[in-house]
Amino acid sequence: MNPLLLQVANVNRELLRYLKLNPEHLHDISPLKFEELIAEILRDMGCEVEVTPQTHDGGRDVLAVFPSPVGKLLAIVECKKFAPHRKIGVDLIQRFLWVVDNHD
């Protein structure tokens, strides 16, 4: 494995441990770091993971391939880290479903 990727993975694991003990600090990290943490969780679950570029990602932040008894399954992940008082609305879900139907 690339030494730089290994260092990033180690930093992400340490941050995950910290956030597990201090979940109130989740909102202090950047949107990019949040996407990387989600990707790290998926890697820990055994997925092959790709974090998409920050712009022009087609409404997909993380692509994760899950192994299964019937073959590989693709999970398309859109990460949203809003302020604690801000809820994810139906419009975001509808846009994501449109991306899944029309892009993938």
Q: What is the pLDDT of residue 80?
A: 85
Contacting residues for 68 by C-beta, under 8 A, at least 6 apart: none
Task: Name the pLDDT band for 4 (thresholds 50, 70, 90).
Answer: very low
Percent with pLDDT over 70 in the chain: 86
- pLDDT exceeds 70 at position 57: no
Measured N-to-C along each axis, helices 3-21 and 31-44 cross at an angle, to the nearest 10 degrees, of: 100
- What average pLDDT score do residues 56-85 get? 85
Q: Say whether pLDDT at 104 is over 90.
A: no
| Percentage of the chain lying above the pLDDT 90 cut | 12
* CA atoms of 77 and 84, how far apart (whole Å): 20
Among 4-13, 16-25, 49-58, 70-79, the range of highest mean pLDDT: 70-79
Residue 63: pLDDT band with limits 50, 70, 90: very high
pTM for the whole structure? 0.74
Instruction: State the CB neighbour count (10 A cutoff) for residue 12.
Output: 19
